[in-house]
Structure 1
Amino acid sequence: MNARASKKNESTSWYDHPQYFDMVFRDETADEVAFFQEVFEKYLTRPAKRLYEPGCGSGRLVAAMAAKGFDVVAVDNNAAMLAYLRRRLSRRGLDAELVLGDMTSHVCQPLVDAAFCTFNTFRHLTDGDSAERHLRSLARSLRRGGVYILGFHCIPLDADPNCTERWKAAHAGTQVSVTLRVIDFQRRRRLETLRVSIKATKPSGIIERIRSEFSLRLYTPTQAQKLLESVSDIFEIAGIYDFDCDIDQERKIDEDLTDAVFVLRKK
């Protein structure tokens, strides 16, 4: 077989390949960063200086906020992701506090002014106890009056469990195709299992294929509301938005809220 057309096949976690994970979502970064800054201006009573991202992944948002001059703390439980982020920050002459740790228990010291966790990272906490532990430890990381921007998909009662999404991305000559498919959906157990299939074609012509499966917790809008009510002693819902990240378009919790972004403020 021609070396330029050779193929490498493996079954592993796509989170161990930060470069591909990052390529898929990088186009969302500018809108999210602008939204974060609008949230800070609208909901904080003091300027935001120190930020925290639990479950930071490849760190696209960490690097973007550090480039804006913020002091950022980033926590993830995947060493490959943090190593990728460390190299990214170094290339750009940026700095952040990177912690290999658990988002259900980590507490920032000194405290932070705001935190953010978007695009379903929160749903990797697959049981209610873990979700609540995370929210309470996050609150311990925030100054009083600080905000937590928490975004995740909610599943309506009439949701089609046979969901497939596809993306394509390219960077530095590498072409990536990603297929995300729901392979198991258990509404009663509140779990769905997803399979991610990646085909990466490198400039050399070598093709790398990765297949990964993982579980996410299911939330209806009502279940999301009940979870947030369980921590109402420490958080208030200051604002609700969707993934359009439009600060002028507030939402409410109803069955149409499928792409939810909650702005939680520490009491």
Structure 2
Amino acid sequence: MTKNKHESVDWYDYPQYFDMLFSDETADEVKFFKKAFEKFSKRKVNRVLEPGCGSGRLVVAMAKQGYDVTGLDLSPAMLNFLDQELGRKGLKAKTVLGDMTQMKFKKKFDAAFCTFNTFRHLLDEKSAVKHLRNVADQVRKGGLYILGFHIIPMDADPDCIERWHAKNKAVEVNAKLKVIDFKRKKRLEKLRVTINAKKASGKTDRLKTEFALRVYTHKQARKTLQSVSDVWEIASIFDFDYDIEEPRDFDKDLTDALFVLRRK
């Protein structure tokens, strides 16, 4: 890689950086999952599924808590990284290469979870609904699906920029996410992520990737969830503070949405 230019790559091919950047959220998420299972599930939760598991930080954390975990993803690089992490930490979990709209398992799960916008990678209504119904087919009645994604307010700034920083003994990672195209009518936004990863050796990886996400207003999110109300009911709603004592209303002020869906 050149010293000053970011190389265009798929950042999912660099799971070590992806995993570091979001690791700060893991403890709060796992704590919330356990409380939500106790409060809202109508069945004991042991066997859990994460569709779109990525680098598997939640798979690893839930396996460490003693759950029987399965993680599914489309990225071989992500799953290879996850398998290595599980082996390194002496943990067991099942990893599956597959599409989160076409999952099929022999044994159903007690609960599933998919947080932090993975759901928005499904770029049309057909795919979103297909996914929700597919998860319903994999979860036992009374079980849960904890689904988290950003909902955009009507007065949203299309020039949004987010930054993340993470560091360990081997590398220091800085990332910037910028919206580079926003089409409200088509319900799509295009994002660019740039990563500077400075290694202890002195080498710096400079990476750039672009991808699209589907846009949801609170009304559009409500419509999508209502379309699968025959299989899912909304048990409660929270936000990305992961505070089980602070449920949220499904209104225009809900932006970082965390839905606890229960299988009918």
TM-score interval, smaller chain: over 0.9
Identity of aligned residues (%): 58
| Contact 1:147/1:266 (<8 A) preserved | yes
Q: Within the alignment, does 1:31 sit opposite 2:28 as a pair?
A: yes
Counterparts of 1:134 and 1:172, CA distance in 2:
39
The residue aligned with 1:172 is 169
The residue aligned with 2:148 is 151
The 5 Å alignment of 1:64-143 reads: 64-143=61-140
CA shift at 1:172, angstroms?
Answer: 2.3
The residue aligned with 1:207 is 204
1:203 partner amino acid: A
1:12 partner amino acid: V
1:201 partner amino acid: K
1:264 partner amino acid: L
Name the SS of the counterpart of 1:69 in structure 2: coil
Distance 1:9 1:193, change over 3 A: closer
Root mean square deviation, CA, Å: 1.2
Q: 1:160-189 CA deviation, whole Å, 9 max, x = no partner?
A: 101011111102230111000000000000
Counterparts of 2:43 and 2:143, CA distance in 1:
9
1:261 partner amino acid: L
| Contact 2:6/2:194 (<8 A) preserved | no
Give the alignment partner of residue 11 of structure 2, picking from 10, 14, 17. Answer: 14
Counterparts of 1:186 and 1:104, CA distance in 2:
24
CA shift at 1:266, angstroms?
Answer: 0.6
Counterparts of 1:65 and 1:8, CA distance in 2:
38
The 5 Å alignment of 1:158-197 reads: 158-197=155-194
Counterparts of 1:248 and 1:109, CA distance in 2:
36
Counterparts of 2:141 and 2:120, CA distance in 1:
25
CA shift at 1:47, angstroms?
Answer: 1.7
CA shift at 1:141, angstroms?
Answer: 0.3
CA shift at 1:7, angstroms?
Answer: 7.1
Unaligned runs of 5+ in 1: none
Name the SS of the counterpart of 1:150 in structure 2: strand
CA shift at 1:44, angstroms?
Answer: 1.4
Counterparts of 1:112 and 1:70, CA distance in 2:
11
Q: 1:105-163 CA deviation, whole Å, 9 max, x = no partner?
A: 10332000000000000000010000000000000000001100000000010001010
TM-score for both structures, normalised by structure 1: 0.96
| Contact 1:6/1:205 (<8 A) preserved | no
Unaligned runs of 5+ in 2: none
Name the SS of the counterpart of 1:151 in structure 2: strand
